[in-house]
Amino acid sequence: MRGGALAAAAAMLAAPAVLRAQDSTGSAPVGVRVGITYTPGTRPSVAVLPVATATLDSVRAVLQRDLDFSDRFEVLMPPASVAMRGGAPNYPGLTALGTDLAVAVVAGPAGDVDVQLHDVRTGSIRSHLSVTLPAGGEPLRQAVHRAADEVVRWVTGSPGVAATAILFVSDGRLWRVDPDGQGLANVPAAGRPTLSPAWSPDGRTIAYTAFVPGGRPLVLQDLASGSREVVPGTEYGVNITPEFSPDGRRLAYAHGDENGTDVYLYDVARRCCVTRLTVGRYYDNLSPTWSPDGQRLAFVSSRPGSPQLYVMSADGSGQEALAPFDYGSTGQSNGPEWSPDGQAVAFHREVGGVPQVFVMDLATRTVRQLTGEGRNEDPTWAPDGRHLAFASTRGGVRQLWIVDLETGRLRPLVTTGGARLPAWSPRRTFFSEAR
Amino acid sequence: MMTRLWRAAPVLVLLAAACGGPPAPAATTPAPAPSDALRAAADSAAAARRDSVAAAARADSLARAERERVRADSVRMAVQHISSDTAPQAVAGGLAAADSALLADAIHFDYNRADIRAGDQAVLDRKLAVLAAHPRLEIQIAGNCDERGSDEYNLALGERRAAAAKRYLVAHGVAAARVAIVSYGKEHPLDPAHNEGAWTKNRRDDFVVTKGAR
């Protein structure tokens, strides 16, 4: 465990040059991944096999893209003449391609679909999953996303993040999109603009700031029923940056009034009791983000004159500067989000007046800059701890992009102009649950 | 005393609401014990005046707490449907055009600061005169920011900018209840450009009359 942490830290330190190169060239250099099933510097290749029917082909297309976007494989799409023989995988042909693994999508007997992972060397099915496919549309795609995440787990030991969703704000309204850029849909929400969406750990409730006449309350919204409630006390003042605790029982947020903005906790589980964690007078404390063990909160404080990153215990004690900064010369730092593995905090910091995404390694308390082209803001971690979504103007207008920290691969997520404030969901969400 | 009461009222309401109890009884200070009041009445007219001032303050505080309660109810109602934030309806009733213009004058801020610039005190002083001449006028101050920093940080900063102007007005005799504040963060830039010229314009407090002189 400790060795793994150190190796991950080393990998993070090694990566900036790779990512900066990515920024300017758009190439996808291979990074270093230290893990159970990888050889450093290489990714396993997976062949996605051709299928017999158009329906299966649409399934295969989603699956193939999910595997590609997991950034854990070299995904091959060999033609049937190479990959298949007599309706079955052509193991010698696949071996000749240099791949050890093949994924097949096969029609099952009862209208279901069998997703199979073949071990090419032994010529056998290593793992498989029977999927009952919904008729089509988003439910079908979600079913395939879940299968793709299983395939990733079979190979790497931890599941993919295809069956997740990203909430974001565009034109003052709330939207969701799948990590593959599909399934874009408005999420009806109170207020306009609606800002700072956040997910509960079970993926069934969201919290956000609603600009409504007379107030800036925090709203808790159940995704299934659409029902909404106001966090008590947030009818007053300005209320921003909600974040659920990892156990989902508490909500940390910032409440501001005429004396400044401070971090508070609301007991969501008991629907009771607000605790104040910071006391700033004429400066602001906001943007709390939980450590995965729920013991600590990183947050933004303007106590040094400009907003910078701080950290405290979840009871408000032990407040101290988190990310290094030079008083008066380091640009303001905002939007922190603690990584799912607990080892890093992503945030954005102004460099020459332009925001750029940074990641701080907590073991060494060193920061590295991930972006350099355009304005890049508000990074949010995927539950796999290796992908970040963020808002960027690198394409001309501000939209969302995803970067894989381990390969440096970068891709646009949505082309909706003005997209901002992304929040990546936990692994299970209301949207991805079988319906 | 006024100031302290005014600050205490929303906090008490907030805490009561936070504990999920029944709607907060309006935030009040404990009534003086009867014997105190009797002694005060017997002792001197000055003490009686003090009591009447305190009573007025209590009534004022009660009225404000009630208004806050109604506003909080309306906020809770507003989230039940899809409603946009709308700028308050500007009211001009009973004001000369020149006075309206003085009240509407924006003030501006240095980068990442929320203190009133020396030069802007004169702008606020001119508003003081209009507010003094029309004691029924009520205004809303909206704090705004340039695009640097996060969307959220600027909401906090905008709140402080609006509060700074309110503090100045209240310190110079305007009743706190006549001045509402709101933050728009960087949601409403006057100039959307990405340069110092635009940023300078966007770091501002806007002033809107929400209740007329009549």
Q: What's the predicted TM-score (pTM) here? A: 0.84
pLDDT at A270: 96
- Determine the distance in angstroms separating the CA of A369 from the nearest CA of chain B, rounded to an integer: 17
> How large is the average pLDDT for residues B130-146?
95
The larger pLDDT score, comparing residue A6 to residue A276, is at A276
ipTM: 0.85
Averaged confidence pLDDT in chain B: 80
- pLDDT, position B87: 67
Give me the mean pLDDT over the A253-271 stretch.
95
What is the tens place of the pLDDT at every residue in A355-381?
A: 999 999 999 999 999 999 999 999 999
Identify the pLDDT of residue B2. 39
pLDDT digits (tens, 9 = 90+) for A336-348: 999 999 999 999 9
Q: Is A328 in CB contact (< 8 Å) with chain B?
A: no
The string of pLDDT tens digits covering residues A209-252 is 999 988 999 999 999 999 999 999 999 999 999 999 999 999 99
* Nearest chain B residue (CA) to A354: B148
Q: Is the pLDDT of residue A286 over 50?
A: yes
- pLDDT tens for B176-188 read 999 999 999 999 9
pLDDT value of residue B64: 80
User: A390: which strand partners?
Assistant: A401
Which class is A43-156 in CATH?
alpha beta
CB contact, 8 Å: B124 with chain A? Answer: no
> Contact B66/B13 with Cβ under 8 angstroms?
no
The whole-number pLDDT of residue B58 equals: 83
Convert the pLDDT of each residue in B79-101 to its tens digit. 887 666 666 666 766 788 899 99
Question: Three-state SS across chain A?
Answer: CHHHHHHHHHHHHHCHHHHHHHHHHCCCCCCCCCCCCCCCCCCCEEEECCCCCHHHHHHHHHHHHHHHHCCCCEEECCCHHHHEECCEECHHHHHHHCCCEEEEEEECCCCCEEEEEEECCCCEEEEEEEECCCCCHHHHHHHHHHHHHHHHHHHHCCCCCCCCCEEEEECCEEEEECCCCCCCEECCCCCCCEEEEEECCCCCEEEEEECECCEECEEEEECCCCCEEECCCCCCCEEEEEEECCCCCEEEEEEEECCEEEEEEEECCCCEEEEECCCCCCCEEEEEEECCCCCEEEEEECCCCCCEEEEEECCCCCCEECCCCCCCCCCCEEEEEECCCCCEEEEEEEECCEEEEEEEECCCCEEEECCCCCCEEEEEECCCCCEEEEEECCCCCCEEEEEECCCCCEEEEECCCCCEEEEECCCCCCCCCCC
Tell me the pLDDT band of A43, cut-offs 50, 70 and 90: confident
Regarding predicted confidence, which is higher, A390 or B5?
A390
A365, with CB counted inside 10 A (0-12, 13-18, 19+), is exposed
Q: Are A288 and A296 in contact (CB under 8 A)?
A: no
pLDDT at B42: 59
Which of the four pLDDT bands, split at 50, 70 and 90, describes residue A415? confident
CB-based contact, A222 to chain B, within 8 Å: no
Residues B9, B12, B18, B21, Cα dihedral to 10°: -110
A432 exposure class (CB count in 10 Å sphere: 0-12, 13-18, 19+) = buried
Strands (E), chain B: 107-108, 138-144, 179-185, 204-211
Q: Compute the average pLDDT of residues A4-17.
A: 41
pLDDT value at residue B54: 84
| Residue A125, C-beta contacts closer than 8 angstroms, at least 6 positions apart | A116, A117, A118, A119
Which residues on A lie below 8 Å from B156 (Cβ)? 238, 240, 254, 256, 260-261, 284, 286, 302
Higher-pLDDT residue of A292, A6: A292
Predicted pLDDT at B49: 76
Q: What's the mean pLDDT in B199-206? A: 97
pLDDT of residue B214: 66
Q: Residue A32: pLDDT band by 50, 70, 90 thresholds? A: very low
Cα B125 → chain centroid: 17
Nearest to A196 by CA among A184, A210, A187, A208: A208
> Model confidence over A161-181: pLDDT tens digits?
999 999 999 999 999 999 999
B82 touches chain A (CB under 8 A): yes
For residue A266, what is the nearest residue in chain B, using CA coordinates? Answer: B18
Fold exhibited by the domain A166-434: Neuraminidase (2.120.10)
Of A191, A212, A261, the CB nearest to B159: A261
Q: How far apart are CA A189 and CA A192, in angstroms?
A: 8
Structure tokens at B70: 């109604």
Give residue limits of the domains in chain A.
Answer: 43-156, 166-434
- Hey, how many other C-beta atoms are within 10 angstroms of the C-beta on B185? 27
Where residue B36 falls among pLDDT bands split at 50, 70, 90? low
Query: A118-132, A391-405, B25-39, B162-176: which has the minimum mean pLDDT?
Result: B25-39
The answer to whether B178 and B131 are in contact (CB under 8 A) is yes
